[in-house]
Amino acid sequence: MRVGVDSGGTFTDFIGWDGTRLRSLKVRSTPRNPAHAILAGLHRFAVTEVVHGSTVATNALLQRNGARTAFVATRGFEDLLELARQNRAELYNWTPLPRQGLVQEGSKFGLAERVLHDGTVLQPLSAQEAARLAGRIEGVDSVAVCLLHSYANPAHEELVGRTLREAGYEVSLSSEILPEYREYERAATTVVNAYVSPLMRTYIRSLEASLPRARLRVFQSNGGSISAKEASEQAVRTVLSGPAGGLVGAAAVARLLGIDRFVSFDMGGTSTDVSLYDGAPRYTTEGGAAGLPIRVPMLDIESIGAGGGSVAYFDEGSALRVGPRSAGASPGPVCYGAGEELTVTDANLVLGRIDAGSFLEGTIRLDADRARDFAAREASRAGIGIEQLARAIVRAANSKMERAIRSVSIERGHNPRDYAMICFGGAGALHACELAESLEIQRIVVPAHAGVLSALGMLVADCVRDYSASILNEDPRPAFARLESAARRDMRQQGFEEVALVRSLDMRYEGQSYEINVPHDRAHAFDEAHERRYGYCHAGRATQAVTARVQAIGRTRDADRPDLSSASHQPRFASIYVPNGWRSREVVGSNTILERVR
């Protein structure tokens, strides 16, 4: 049995496929040690392979509890991470808080070496200089190395890497993690990898030791899985793996139903993730987490702190707020029996939109009376009724989620009315109709396995690896040849003899600072892509190819891919509030489509 596992902030989701049927499970997450919940769930399956979306890297960044990390740069550039781009995150704040970095003072080192932008060595790096560096570094577990222009010539970084690894350090080289130009983003991404990879390696080894008969694969932010070994070495690629699994699962359902364009709406216990799918998923290399840029390719997903467990409170001005703080798995919402702060889940329960007895098939008994008591206390302070407060909490949460959907659709020139909405996550269906009404979306899909769709996405996903090389207007063909050779070699090591290779280019007009990714065979259509993205183009103006990219895809075998068209899902009772003006019908595979009545 293959099992997809999505470790969330409130629940950990499982879905298994044994070749004939799907079996799903949800258990309460264990934030202090996510492996406890994962192992508790996996031991209920006769598991042979696990595809796991991990939050280890994400949590390490959010909580700033990663490995003690040193940073090595070309001499004179030791403060690169602090200088960053000198952008002001708070435009009108004259006294902003300093950026909280991952590298402590005293752990930054400069090397006497210099490589030029074309790879020419201006100042060679001696083996003695690298050895002296190893002697100077102390009190750290991991080292990030980012030397100037190592994307053009990695020889100096490779010498430093060999020397430090022989000295016993975990090392992340920017020429291996992100061989692209832009020093700050390359350095920041490499530091994030150095910061989280040791924790990921320890976590994966522990998980593999507890599951000796199962093969472990780890899901990435780009919507594909990689081997556990690769995830240990390049953990930065797993930072946003959970939301990516949801979009892959939604795309699988959309293909089954013949839907080409949709908005994915994933409302879980801690956050809501939304994305736009227009015939294909959208990728970005301008993502980030916990205030840090992460430039590896990832699915373009907007995440906000609004979920079922989001805490509702009144601020200093007596305005009602919802999130981003969440009650999480512990203590959880008030109705779980231990929480002391009202959440969106409590509001839905008070309004009768959740059936207390059938929640998670009765494995968790919700305390509706306790939720009403806490709601009555807060409503009395505000001078309103209990139901009025609960409706206000739901509307406040909906408002945040509607803004997120607008940001990925209307603000990018797409009309939501032209798209279906695929809603999933533990709370997605509870809020989908009201959001669709506000956005004038005509059709909503509630997948058969909506509560565990992110885990299902991990189960059906292919193995995907991304490769890149800076070319800065050079002929891209030699770079593509090198990247494709490396891709075939790496994929063969993972057992894939037949690999799909997708070429693309990051392009811009001469004089611009940022690029648009276009298919290699459509590079001539850059003007069209620019106009679609920004509303205008400079037809006839000279363009530059900046980065060559290759995506290698190893297809999951059909025998390992569940048949979503079979009615393998047993419908369960659920109390979902649906406004007037919507009608529902069950379609292929026990999915449900809600349509507006015209």
Give the model confidence (pLDDT) of 283-310 as tens digits: 998 888 767 789 999 999 998 888 999 9
Q: What is the pLDDT of residue 84?
A: 85
At 576 the pLDDT is 59
Is the Cβ–Cβ distance between 401 and 304 less than 8 Å?
yes
pLDDT at 315 exceeding the cut of 60: yes
pLDDT band at 596 (very low <50, low <70, confident <90, very high): confident
Ramachandran assignment for 121, one of left (phi > 0), alpha (psi -120 to 50 degrees), beta (any other):
beta
Percent helix, strand, coil in the chain, to 5, is 35, 25, 35
Specify the pLDDT at position 93.
86
Inter-residue contact 546 to 517 (CB < 8 Å): no
In three-state secondary structure terms, 576 is: coil
Least confident of 164-178, 236-250, 459-473, 561-575: 561-575
Q: Is the link from the previous residue into 293 a cis peptide, with omega within 30 of 0? A: no
* Helix 34-42 with 183-210: angle, nearest 10 deg: 50
Q: Does residue 11 register a pLDDT over 70?
A: yes
Mean pLDDT score of the chain? 90
Q: What pLDDT is attached to residue 571?
A: 52
- Looking at per-residue pLDDT, the higher value among 418 and 61 belongs to 418
Any bridge partners for residue 52, and if so which? Answer: 5, 218
**How confident is the model at residue 452, as a pLDDT?**
92
State residue 500's pLDDT score: 95
Q: Which amino acid, residue 151?
A: Y
Q: How far is the C-alpha of 439 from the C-alpha of 437, rounded, in Å? A: 6
- Greater confidence, 160 or 578? 160
Q: Exposed, middle or buried: residue 493 (CB in 10 Å: 0-12, 13-18, 19+)?
A: exposed
pLDDT of 573 over the 90 cut: no
pLDDT band at 317 (very low <50, low <70, confident <90, very high): confident
| CB contact at 8 A, 575 and 355 | yes
Tens of pLDDT along 432-485?
Answer: 999 999 999 999 999 989 989 999 999 999 999 999 999 987 899 999 999 999
Indicate the residue type of 86.
Q
The fraction of the chain above a pLDDT of 70, given in percent, is 97
Closest by CA to 49, choosing from 202, 210, 215, is 215
| pLDDT confidence of residue 423 | 96
Question: Which residue stretches of 64-173 are H helix?
Answer: 80-83, 127-136, 155-166
More confident residue, 18 or 558: 18
pLDDT at 581 over 80: no
pLDDT of residue 592: 87
Token code pair at residue 50: 């696990």
Confidence at residue 577, expressed as pLDDT on a 0 to 100 scale: 60
Average pLDDT over residues 99-110: 89
In this predicted model, which residue has the larger pLDDT, 500 or 101? 500
**Is the pLDDT at 569 greater than 80, yes or no?**
no
Do you find a cis peptide bond into 331, omega within 30 degrees of 0? yes
Predicted confidence (pLDDT) at residue 225 exceeds the cutoff of 70: yes
The stretch 522-538 carries a mean pLDDT of 88
Which tokens hold the place of 11?
């629940």
First CA to last CA across the chain, in angstroms?
A: 45
Instruction: Give the chain's length.
Output: 598
Contact by Cβ (8 Å): 10, 309: yes
In tens, the pLDDT along 108-137 reads 999 999 999 999 999 999 999 999 999 999
Which burial class, exposed, middle or buried, applies to 576 when counting CB atoms under 10 A from its CB (0-12, 13-18, 19+)? middle
**Dist CA 193 CA 200 (whole Å):** 10
Question: Which residue is associated with the tokens 């699988």?
Answer: 252
- Binned at pLDDT 50, 70 and 90, residue 8 comes out as confident
Q: What backbone phi and psi angles, to 5 degrees, belong to 561?
A: -100, 125
Q: Is-contact 19 562, C-beta < 8 A?
A: no
User: Which pLDDT value is given to residue 570?
Assistant: 55
pLDDT band at 568 (very low <50, low <70, confident <90, very high): low
Beta-bridge partners for 465: 552
Distance of CA 302 to the CA centre of its chain: 9
- Give the integer Cα–Cα distance in Å for 54 and 41: 15
Pair of tokens at residue 53: 């979306």
Q: With 70 as the cut, is the pLDDT of residue 487 above it?
A: yes
Q: 326: which strand partners?
A: 310
